[in-house]
Amino acid sequence: MSLDRSTLFIGGEWVAPATDETFTVISPHTEEPIATVPAGSTADIDRAVAAAREAFDHGPWPRMTPQERIDVVARFSDLYAAKLGEAADLITAEMGSPAQFSQLAQSPAAWMALDAMINVARAYEWEATRPGSLGNPVVVRREPVGVVAAIPPWNVPHFTVMSKLAPALLAGCTIVVKPAPETPLSGAVLADLLTEAGVPAGVVSIIPGGREVGAHLVAHPGVDKVAFTGSTAAGRQIAAVCGQQLKRVSLELGGKSAAIVLDDADLDRTIEGLKFASLLNSGQACIAQTRILVSRARHDDFVEAFADAMGKMVVGDPADLATEIGPMVSQRQQQRVESYIGIGQSEGAKMVLGGEGRPTGLDRGWYVKPTLFAGVDNSMRIAQEEIFGPVLAVVPYDDPAEAVRIANDSPYGLGGSVWTSDPEQGLEVARQIRAGTVGVNQYMMDFAAPFGGFKDSGIGREFGPEGLDEYVEAKSMFPDVSGG
* 333-370 pLDDT, tens digit each: 999 999 999 999 999 999 999 998 899 999 999 999 99
Q: Is residue 3 part of a domain?
A: no
* pLDDT tens digits along 442-478: 998 999 999 999 999 999 999 999 999 999 999 999 9
CA distance 289 to 60: 44
Q: Is residue 483 part of a domain?
A: no
Going by the DSSP 8-state scheme, the letter that residue 58 receives in this structure is: H
252 included as an active-site residue: yes
- Statement to judge: residues 140 and 267 lie in one domain: no
Q: Is 2 within a domain?
A: no
Which CATH number do you get for residue 428?
3.40.309.10
What is the spatial distance between Cα 189 and Cα 199, in angstroms, rounded to a whole number? 15
Q: How many domains, the chain?
A: 2
Does residue 304 sit in the same domain as residue 344? yes
Question: What does pTM read for this prediction?
Answer: 0.96
CATH number at residue 152: 3.40.605.10
CA 396 to chain centre: 29
Q: How many residues does the chain have?
A: 484
Helix-strand-coil split of the chain, %, nearest 5: 40, 20, 35
Q: Are 287 and 317 within one domain?
A: yes
Average pLDDT score over the chain: 97
Q: What CA–CA distances, in Å, run from 360 to 93, 230, 280, 355, 364? A: 22, 31, 21, 12, 11
pLDDT band at 102 (very low <50, low <70, confident <90, very high): very high
In a domain, 119, yes or no: yes
Phi, psi (degrees; rounded to nearest 5) at 321: -65, -15
**What are phi and psi for residue 180, nearest 5 degrees?**
-70, 150
CB atoms within 10 A of CB 350: 13
Say whether both 226 and 278 belong to one domain.
Answer: no
Examine the domain organization and report whether 51 and 131 are in the same domain: yes
Q: Give the three-state DSSP class for 10.
A: strand
Asked if residue 1 is part of any domain, the answer here is no
Residue 452 lies in a domain: no
pLDDT > 90 fraction of the chain, expressed in percent and rounded: 96
Pairing of strands 137-144, 127-131: antiparallel
Strand ranges, E, within 79-182: 127-131, 137-144, 147-151, 174-177
Cα distance between the two ends of the chain = 70
According to the model, what pLDDT value does residue 3 have?
86
Are both 290 and 248 inside the same structural domain?
no
> Do 462 and 439 fall within a single domain?
no
CA neighbor of 70 nearest in space, from 126, 109, 11: 126
CA distance 103 to 90: 11
CA angle in degrees (0–180, nearest 5) for 43-49-51: 105
Same domain flag for 440 and 315: yes
Answer yes or no: do 332 and 466 share one domain: no
Q: What angle is formed at CA 29 by the lines to CA 25 and CA 32, rounded to 5 degrees?
A: 45
Q: Has residue 425 been placed in a domain? A: yes
Radius of gyration of the chain (CA): 23
Range of the domain at 409: 258-446
Partnered with residue 13 across adjacent β-strands are 10
Catalytic, out of 94, 182, 252, 338: 252
Given CA atoms 393, 394, 396, 401 in this order, what sign does their dihedral have? positive
Give the pLDDT confidence of 272-285 residue by residue, as tens digits.
Answer: 999 999 999 999 99
Domain co-membership, 243 together with 383: no
Select from 389, 388, 381, 321 the least CA-distant residue to 359. Answer: 389
Whether residues 413 and 306 fall in one domain:
yes
484 within domain boundaries: no
Q: Is 86 a catalytic residue?
A: no
Q: Which of 286, 324, 338, 470 is catalytic?
A: 286
Are 410 and 389 contacting, i.e. CB atoms less than 8 angstroms apart?
no
10-58: pLDDT as tens digits: 999 999 999 999 999 999 999 999 999 999 999 999 999 999 999 999 9
